[in-house]
Amino acid sequence: MDTLHCMRVFAKVVAEGGFAAAARKLNLTTSVTSRAISALENHLGSRLLYRTTRNIALTEAGERYLHRCRQILANIDEAEAEAGSAREHPTGCLRVHALSSFGHHLVVPAVLRYQEQFTALRVELTLSGAVPDILEDGYDVSIVVAPTLPDSGLISVRLGSIPGIVCASPQYLAKHGEPKKPEDLRDHRCLQLATPVFPFNKWMFDGAEVPFAVDIGAPRYAVNVIEALEPAIRTGLGIGILPAGIALPGLTSRSLVRVLCGYDVQPVVVHALYQSRQFVDAKIRTWISFLREDLTATFEADRQALAGIEGAAPRG
């Protein structure tokens, strides 16, 4: 027996004052409607309605049960409306994870712009150095920056790619010279971004046919947050790879110099990971859609700015 269905039939019979009228409202036959009430009474072991050929009347037990039924059915209808609304309108709390190595630069500004559009939605942003278990840790979306992604059961949406810029300070280059090819990095002080998604002690470059790795040895300085790498490069500690957006202010002010210009660092790809393609909440759908537009605009602005300073004045 479908108890919930029978409860709805019972409440409708009382509201309409009879089986035939309720059957018409529910698009059922009168006999099916009657059987539903009988099944409910048998299940409860109590009579709910007095029946005559023309009228129905609630028993005392029926009155008490009707009151409870209406409460239960109202709660269910409200829950269904909330769940359905979640697919149409962003509501509640969006829990976002991002790798701290790039989250400060990319995700934090995007979250602030997203909340300007969806003011009723709360966002909880967690920045950490490891890729979480989305299901176990309760995140809606994880933003991952990596050259490649391992196989998983998660849905992945590519949001764009970030070119890497090999940089050094003018002071460092004046003292130690400039590498002319990637292999020359072995003779330099290299500074490393250390995260679980990047190979340690190796820098990846795009070759003519396939990417190739250069072993840089033990880095002079390693850090897991990209914002802590830029000052070390700028103050002359060594050579490092920075995302274009992080490198641009220093390149513009000439406190940083781009080296190995003829060699492209293998770009890293930004992915949004979430659990399922089916029944995606509006908060997840709108967040990913927003990121695709917002980050695309950010990356394009960075590329144009970088192209604009390629012909900058001589280093000094």
What is 164-266's CATH topology? Answer: D-Maltodextrin-Binding Protein; domain 2 (3.40.190)
pLDDT at 235 over 90: yes
**Which residues have a Cβ under 8 Å from the Cβ of 163 and sit 6 or more positions away?**
243, 244, 264, 265, 267, 302, 303, 306
Give percent of the chain with pLDDT exceeding 90: 32
Per CATH, domain 3-86 is 1.10.10.10 = yes
Q: What Cα–Cα distance (Å) separates residue 179 from each residue in 90, 123, 255?
A: 51, 45, 18
Q: What is the pTM of this model?
A: 0.66
The CATH label, of 2.160.10.10, 3.50.50.60, 3.40.190.10, 3.40.1190.10, for the domain at 93-160+269-303 is 3.40.190.10
In order, the DSSP letters of 41-109 are HHHHTS--EEE-SS-EEE-HHHHHHHHHHHHHHHHHHHHHHHHHHHHHS--SEEEEEEEHHHHHHHHHH
Report pLDDT digits (tens) over 82-99: 665 545 567 789 999 998
State the chain's mean pLDDT as an integer.
85
What pLDDT is recorded for position 95?
A: 93
pLDDT at 313 over 50: no
Report pLDDT digits (tens) over 145-178: 876 776 677 888 899 888 889 999 999 999 999 9
Report pLDDT digits (tens) over 94-122: 999 998 878 888 899 999 999 998 888 89
Going from N- to C-terminal start, the domains of the chain cover: 3-86, 93-160+269-303, 164-266
Same fold, 93-160+269-303 and 164-266: yes
Sign, Cα dihedral of 266, 245, 226, 99? negative
Report pLDDT digits (tens) over 268-297: 889 999 887 665 788 888 999 999 999 988
What pLDDT is recorded for position 89?
A: 63
pLDDT bracket for residue 316 (50, 70, 90): very low
Note whether 270 and 302 are within 8 A (CB).
Answer: no
